[in-house]
Amino acid sequence: MLGTYLDILRYRQSWKFSAAGLILRMPMSMVGLSTILMVRAEYGNYTLAGAVSAVAIIVMALCAPILARQVDRHGQLRVMGPAWTISVLSMSALVAAVIMHAPAWTLFIPAALAGATWGAPGALVRSRWSTILHKPGQLQTAYALESAVDEFVYIVGPVLATVLGTAVHPATGLIISIASLAVGGALFLSRRDSEPAIIPYDPSAPRESVIRKPVVLVMAATYIGMGTTFGAMEVSMVSFTEELGTPALGGILLSLFSIGSLTAALVYGARTWRRPTWQLFVIGVIAMAIGMSLFPLAFNVWTMAIVILITGLTCAPTMTNVNVIIQQSVSPAKLTEGLTWMSTSISLGVSLGTAVAGPAIDAIGARGGLFTMAGAGWAMVLFMLIGLPALRKGTTAAPTPELPLD
CATH number for position 120: 1.20.1250.20
Instruction: Examine residue 146 and state whether it is found in any structural domain, yes or no.
Output: yes
Instruction: Examine residue 200 and state whether it is found in any structural domain, yes or no.
Output: no
Instruction: Examine residue 199 and state whether it is found in any structural domain, yes or no.
Output: no
Is the distance from CB of 215 to CB of 327 less than 8 angstroms? no
List pLDDT tens digits, range 377-397: 999 999 999 988 888 876 654
Instruction: Examine residue 203 and state whether it is found in any structural domain, yes or no.
Output: no
Q: State the amino acid at position 323 in one-letter form.
A: N
Is residue 176 scored above 60 in pLDDT?
yes
Return the higher-pLDDT residue of 69 and 20: 20
Instruction: Examine residue 231 and state whether it is found in any structural domain, yes or no.
Output: yes
**What pLDDT shows up at residue 398?**
39
Is residue 82 scored above 60 in pLDDT?
yes
Residues, the chain? 406
Q: How many Å apart are CA 272 and CA 401, to the nearest integer?
A: 6
Model's pTM, two decimal places?
A: 0.78
Q: Which of 145, 104, 128, 124 is nearest to 28 (CA)?
A: 124
Helix (H, G, I), strand (E, B) or coil at 123: helix
> Among the ranges 48-62, 72-86, 203-217, which has the highest mean pLDDT value?
72-86
First to last CA, the chain: 19
Q: Which of 174, 163, 44 is nearest to 110 (CA)?
A: 174
Q: What's the number of domains the chain is made of? A: 1
Is residue 100 scored above 90 in pLDDT?
yes
Q: What is the 3-state secondary structure (H, E, C) of 292-347?
A: HHCHHHCCCHHHHHHHHHHHHCCHHHHHHHHHHHHHHHCCHHHHHHHHHHHHHHHH
Neighbours of 73 (CB within 10 A): 17
Is residue 406 scored above 60 in pLDDT?
no
* CA distances from residue 268 to 122, 123, 130, 137 in whole angstroms, order as listed: 19, 20, 18, 11
Instruction: Examine residue 347 and state whether it is found in any structural domain, yes or no.
Output: yes
**What pLDDT shows up at residue 116?**
94
The one-character DSSP state at 400 is P
Categorize the per-residue pLDDT at 405 as very low, low, confident or very high, splitting at 50, 70 and 90: very low
Instruction: Examine residue 201 and state whether it is found in any structural domain, yes or no.
Output: no
Q: State the amino acid at position 250 in one-letter form.
A: G
Mean per-residue pLDDT of the chain: 86
**What pLDDT shows up at residue 181?**
95
Q: What is the mean pLDDT of residues 126-139?
A: 82
Say how far residue 258 (Cα) sits from the centre of its chain. Answer: 12
**What pLDDT shows up at residue 403?**
37
Domain that holds residue 336: 2-11+19-192+208-394
Q: How many Å apart are CA 309 and CA 155, to the nearest integer?
A: 13
Return the higher-pLDDT residue of 220 and 166: 220
Is residue 162 scored above 80 in pLDDT?
no
Q: Which of 325, 321, 284 is nearest to 141 (CA)?
A: 321
Pick from 154-158, 296-300, 311-315: least confident:
154-158
Instruction: Examine residue 57 and state whether it is found in any structural domain, yes or no.
Output: yes
Q: How many Å apart are CA 289 and CA 342, to the nearest integer?
A: 19
